[in-house]
Amino acid sequence: MTDIVFLFCTLVLSVSCVVYFLSRKQLLRTQSKVFLWILLFVSFSAAVDIVSNYIENNYIAAGSLFTTQYCTQVLYLMAHQTLAPLYCLYIMMVNGVGVKRGKGFFILLLLPMFIAIFMVMSNPFTGWVFYYDDYRKFQRAPGELVIYVISGVYLLVSIFYMIRYRKAVSGATNLALWYFFSFTLVGVAVQALHPELKVELFAETISMLGVMLTVENDDEFIDSTSKVYNRQAFQSDNVRMIHTGHKYAVVCLNMTNMRFYTRMLDYNDMTEVIRMMAQWLRDLSRDATVYRITPNNLALIIFYHDVEQVDAIVERIEERFADGWVYKNVSLDLNTLIRVAMVPEELSEPDLLLELAEENAEVEHRGVQIQRGSELYFITRRAQVEEALKRALSEGRFEVYYQPIWDAKKDRIISAEALLRLHDPVLGRLSPDELIPIAERNGMISEIGMVVFEEVCAFLADKRVKRLHLDYIEVNLSIYQLIMGNTLERFREIMKQYEIEPEQINLEITETASASASSSPVSVINEMKDAGFTFSLDDYGTGYSNLTYIISMDFLNIKSDKGLLWDADKNRNSRMLLGDTIRMLRRLGVNVIQEGVETKYQLDFVLEAGANLIQGFYFSQPLRPDAFIDYVERFKGEKTDKTK
């Protein structure tokens, strides 16, 4: 009777799993469909085995009753022979090996299963697998060993793929598969040694229950708004597809003016719009999976047989978004940038694919545009520069140059801006305009900033520098350094090491940092001012800060952006704007540093407008420390004529 109890518990539990799985599952991937078939076959196996064992335990069957007993046993064995192959297939789907394979792959994989099923189906004529003795008790025949060997081979293949592609899935998924896989192995071993204990199916059901609650629980992979997969699922799928050697295309959609419609429509309407677009993309192809990466970005992973298939899908997307979307009589003309990357030919790293999917266009263009091939080089280049930054930090390759700042009233060099330079052994010389945004993006700017700060302190501690009587050195400070809670503490430690006072360093911040909506940067600025640091506002004229707010920050200097000066050479309106801006700031009592001065004409213009501090190639390019010291020492005798 114990065997019936185990089987009944198996049936109830497996059917409950099926109901729960179908009620909770939002999106059915191929792996989820395979998992569902496993649950159904376990339930069916338990149901027919209950009938077979009940008859065997209570009757010496004859006639139709024996026919029922025999047929249910055959059905049980047939259904049971599918479990090991399906579990093996499930493992291959989870780690990506079996995703989008051809028919030949699945025929070869499942051929041993069909052989085992054929042996069971032909058993009434051959008696290869089992037979009943005179007392109608089940007896194993030599062929049963064959089907057990076949199941064992499938289990070994499963173990091989779990080990071989363990890096294709997360550690939590690996742990869950191994842990619950052990339940199945224990159940098989116990029933093999004690046939009277029908625990194999029960152990398999416990195993499937655990997998359902862990591996198949995809709540964390579903975007609640669009009901398609999310950023985390996109990253996970790319990892396993790349690790298992798949070729596919990634199509990323960046809707650059989505925020306009988000403000115009209420939350529920916008949710329906997003779901409408996501569903349309899902219906494009059975070979495509849709993801919502950010509020403005969608992505597709497309498995293809030839590139023309991808081109056709991209063309349909382009046409659909060009036509616009209509919801409740509201026309949504989404400016969309479509980026297409072939994996692994063009991009082969999951992190780069995620960057591509998250990328927002820096300049908005109307209508629909497509970027592919060489137009995506910026993603690869960014990764190369990140590696160069890591090398520079670990190998101490960063250099600090100094560009002199001339005081018009004193007619001498009173300061210099510390500027980062890097010559990488692989990429060569890298521009700060390229380095800094990437360092800010990946978080390395904090450590790089500390390298620059320490170099400046060491420079100021040099006896030759002390004899120059500089007022201070300008050091750029990123908003990300302001957000880091220990920046001031680390500055103090470095200054203490080199015996430098805060007054010797003037920190430059941009308009973005000074006018940040967050209170954190502003509070750190105030703390640094209390500690003795002064501040300059860099690149004034490029942002959107409130002038009254900027003046209230009590900056020592405001640096006028070089772009406006260069534009003033050929644009009368820019010239008038620059002149008026300098005059206004000087009337407010603020020092104005004009950067980017390269000609005598530019110098005369900004001096006439009132700029009192000048920086630019007209006086000097950025110099190495020794060259800067030499330049300042001989400046008075050689450079005075330039200011006349």
Mean pLDDT of 582-592: 91
From 335, 357, 381, give the residue that closes a domain.
381
Span 485-502, pLDDT tens digits: 789 999 999 999 999 999
Pairing label, strands 399-407, 613-615:
antiparallel
From 381, 405, 434, give the residue that closes a domain.
381
Is the pLDDT at 513 greater than 80, yes or no?
Answer: no
Residue 158 pLDDT: 94
Residue 519 pLDDT: 55
Q: Does 401 share its domain with 299? A: no
With beta carbons less than 8 A apart as the criterion, state whether 43 and 12 touch. Answer: no
Q: Mean pLDDT for the chain?
A: 90
Span 209-243, pLDDT tens digits: 999 999 998 888 999 999 999 999 999 999 999 99
Binning pLDDT at 50, 70 and 90, where does residue 106 land? very high
Q: Does 184 share its domain with 238? A: no
Q: What percent of the chain has pLDDT over 70?
A: 95
Binning pLDDT at 50, 70 and 90, where does residue 515 land? low
DSSP 57-98: HH----HHHHHHHHHHHHHHHHHHTTHHHHHHHHHHHHHTTT
Q: Does 310 share its domain with 407? A: no
**Domain housing 553:** 396-636
Residue 272 pLDDT: 94
Q: Is residue 391 part of a domain?
A: no
Residue 517 pLDDT: 46
With beta carbons less than 8 A apart as the criterion, state whether 124 and 90 touch. Answer: no
Q: Is residue 101 part of a domain?
A: yes
Encoded amino acid at 229, one letter:
Y
Q: Is the dihedral of CA 584, 590, 591, 597 positive or negative?
A: negative
Residue 262 pLDDT: 87
Q: Is residue 642 part of a domain?
A: no
Mean pLDDT of 319-347: 93
Residue 623 CA: distances (Å) to CA of 39, 203, 506: 72, 74, 19
Is the pLDDT at 350 greater than 90, yes or no?
Answer: yes
Q: Is residue 230 part of a domain?
A: yes
Total structural domains in the chain? 3
Residue 25 pLDDT: 74
Is the pLDDT at 546 greater than 90, yes or no?
Answer: no
Encoded amino acid at 484, one letter:
M
Q: Does 193 share its domain with 117? A: yes
Is the pLDDT at 632 greater than 70, yes or no?
Answer: yes
Note the pTM of the prediction, 2 decimals. Answer: 0.79
Q: Does 459 share its domain with 565? A: yes
Q: Does 7 share its domain with 82? A: yes
Residue 256 sits in a domain whose CATH number is: 3.30.70.270
Which of 175, 164, 158, 168 lies closest to 211, judged by CA?
175
Exposure b/e, 416-451, CB count within 10 A at least 16 = b: bbbbbbbebeeeeebeeeebbebbbeeebbbebbbb
Residue 355 pLDDT: 93
Which of 332, 282, 321, 320 lies closest to 302, judged by CA?
282
Is the pLDDT at 400 greater than 80, yes or no?
Answer: yes
Mean pLDDT of 32-57: 92
Is the pLDDT at 516 greater than 70, yes or no?
Answer: no
Residue 200 pLDDT: 85
Q: Does 602 share its domain with 622? A: yes
Q: Does 48 share its domain with 74? A: yes
Is the pLDDT at 604 greater than 90, yes or no?
Answer: yes
Nearest 10 degrees: CA dihedral of 471, 476, 481, 486?
-20
Mean pLDDT of 278-287: 94
Binning pLDDT at 50, 70 and 90, where does residue 58 land? confident
Q: Is residue 410 part of a domain?
A: yes
Binning pLDDT at 50, 70 and 90, where does residue 347 land? very high
Q: Does 177 share its domain with 269? A: no
Mean pLDDT of 71-98: 94
Q: What would the two tokens of residue 53 be?
A: 């064992």
Distance from chain centroid for Cα 124: 57
Residue 530 sits in a domain whose CATH number is: 3.20.20.450
Q: Does 12 share its domain with 134? A: yes
Q: Is 631 exposed, middle or buried (0-12, 13-18, 19+ CB in 10 A)?
A: buried
Span 156-215, pLDDT tens digits: 999 999 999 999 999 999 999 999 888 888 887 887 777 667 788 888 899 999 999 999
Q: Is residue 47 part of a domain?
A: yes
Q: Is 236 exposed, middle or buried (0-12, 13-18, 19+ CB in 10 A)?
A: buried
Residue 482 pLDDT: 85
Q: Is 316 exposed, middle or buried (0-12, 13-18, 19+ CB in 10 A)?
A: middle
Choice between 540 and 10, residue whose per-residue pLDDT is larger: 10
Residue 70 pLDDT: 92
From 181, 213, 245, give the residue that closes a domain.
213
Q: Is residue 389 part of a domain?
A: no
SS (H, E, C) 490-521: HHHHHHHHHCCCHHHEEEEEEHHHHCCCCHHH
Q: Does 197 share its domain with 240? A: no
Helix (H, G, I), strand (E, B) or coil at 131: strand
Q: Give the span between the Cα atoms of 509 and 527, in whole angstroms.
A: 15
Q: Is residue 532 part of a domain?
A: yes
Mean pLDDT of 118-139: 90
Q: Does 336 share its domain with 407? A: no
Mean pLDDT of 396-423: 96
The position carrying tokens 């220990």 is 486
Residue 543 pLDDT: 59
Residue 500 pLDDT: 96
Residue 42 sits in a domain whose CATH number is: 1.20.1070.10
